[in-house]
Amino acid sequence: MANQHFDALVQHLISGANGLGESRKAMLALCLSLLLGLWVLSKLYNAREHPLSRFPGPFTAQFSNFSHCKRFLGGKQPYEMLKLHQRYGPVVRIAPNELSFNTHGSWRDIYDKRKGHMPFIKSDFYDGGSFAAEAHSIVSERDPEKHAQMRKYLRDAFSDRSLREQESLINHSVDEFIDRIGEEGSSLSGIDIVMWFNLLTFDIIGGLAFGQSFGGVSSGTEHFWVSIVVKSLRMGALADCFKRFPWPGAVFQRMFPGLLSKLIEDTRKHEAYTMSLVKKRTTEKSERKDFLTKILEARETDNVSDIQIAAHSSDFVIAGSETTATALSCITYYLQKNPDILKKLQEEVRNNFRSYQEIDNASTASLPYLNAVILEGMRMYPPLPFPLPRVVPEGGDTIDGHFIPAGTVVSTNPFAASMSPDNFHDPWAFSPERWLHSAPEDVLEASQPFSLGTRSCLGKR
């Protein structure tokens, strides 16, 4: 906030310099020098006297958000955060008022509900996530009470009973996917399995969240709405940096008005299309069992508007599609790189099922090696690799033995935690066995791909 006021004051002083006499210009120069000196002193305070100055981290992180934004926009944030933790330890100061952790204890202390402790509220990273600037979703809502109300009427859509009812819809998309992969994979050139997994997961989540598939698997191409959603994820990083640097953000928008206009156009197109899908699903009489079935049942009692439903459905697609495709791609890659593990998994599946039709959610849940492969895949490549920032509550609190002052932004970095040798022995080795016969050097709680607590993923099972 102080930096914003400083930038605005400097801009005002410079704009008023024209037409002043020499003496006034000299006075203005003196004022600017004093302001610059105060700015330097504030940065030195952040570096040496700030309550977080005792925590190690990059030099620039002591007084600037620049290095944080550079990592976030560079596309390699998970790997760079891993390097920072390898260099500085389990707690790293990554911005003037922000700390990153990589320990299993920090997962519990930051995200889980602790008796006698106030909750750590989501940071302003989630601001701007409201749908059509009107309705917050289960993901973007920061108020704990409002979030609890949302979770109450949404959780039934993810219950075991609901999942059993939705299984036929999922199976239809999976069957179509297998047929298409068989057709496309017959050539020696191979296929882009990442693309096909994305088409599959978007089709499945589209069917569950809106009542209709996007038709990606059948067409073999990405639906226009899907590409907009993917772009919005990339722009989320840019939006976070604009919050940290408002003045450069304003300059960027003035220098590239075409890009801003395109973003606004895509956002409006996304919102309009989402609303059209929701209205179609809510007005038609349907016997299908999907996410909206339970939400519509609670619509009157919980006073859920169409725009609120659209906000939730949009988040379901974003949270459940690309992330799942990432996990499937990672697991497929490591199975291909480790033929002995692939063979063991094949034997487990083929020894437990006599036909393809026998395979369903309930029967696969009891396959230990299959579940170990899935858990290991999500450990090595967390579907959501960036941290979920929270704010330390009033009075401060202790995180993994460290007292952190109130107002500090904190998070556990998923990739840095799951790939730390302090948490897992030989962390770069794909070893499903670690989930079956836990060794003392494996801290399994350090891998939390669905997060913890009341804000954890609704789809966690």
Question: Does 457 belong to an annotated binding site?
Answer: yes
What is the CB-side half-sphere exposure of residue 227 using CA atoms within 13 A? 7
Q: Calculate the alpha carbon distances from 354 to 88, 172, 351, 361, 372 in Å.
A: 52, 20, 8, 16, 22
**DSSP per-residue string spanning 227-286:** HHHHHHHHHHHHHHHHHH-HHHHHHHHHH-HHHHHHHHHHHHHHHHHHHHHHHHHHHS--
User: CA-to-CA distance for 429 and 432, rounded, in angstroms?
Assistant: 9
> Any idea how long the chain is?
461
Phi–psi pair at 134, nearest 5 degrees: -125, -40
Contacts of 112 (CB under 8 A, 6+ apart): 452, 453
What single letter denotes the amino acid at residue 135? Answer: A
Give me the sign of the Cα torsion angle 213, 320, 222, 259. Answer: positive
User: CA-to-CA distance for 7 and 112, rounded, in angstroms?
Assistant: 38
Query: And the tokens for 102?
Result: 């990589």
What single letter denotes the amino acid at residue 337? Answer: K
Within 10 A of 103 (CB to CB), how many other CB atoms are there? 25
User: CA-to-CA distance for 234 and 137, rounded, in angstroms?
Assistant: 19
Q: Calculate the alpha carbon distances from 452 to 158, 184, 448, 449 in Å.
A: 16, 39, 7, 9
- Helical pair 77-88 and 66-74, crossing angle rounded to 10 deg: 130
Burial 122-151 (b: 16+ CB within 10 A, else e): bbebbeebebbeebbbbbbbbeeeebeebb
Closest CA to 217 of 185, 184, 176: 176
Pairing state of beta strands 98-101 and 409-412? parallel
Q: Annotated binding residues, as ranges?
A: 457
Q: Annotated binding residues for heme, as ranges?
A: 457
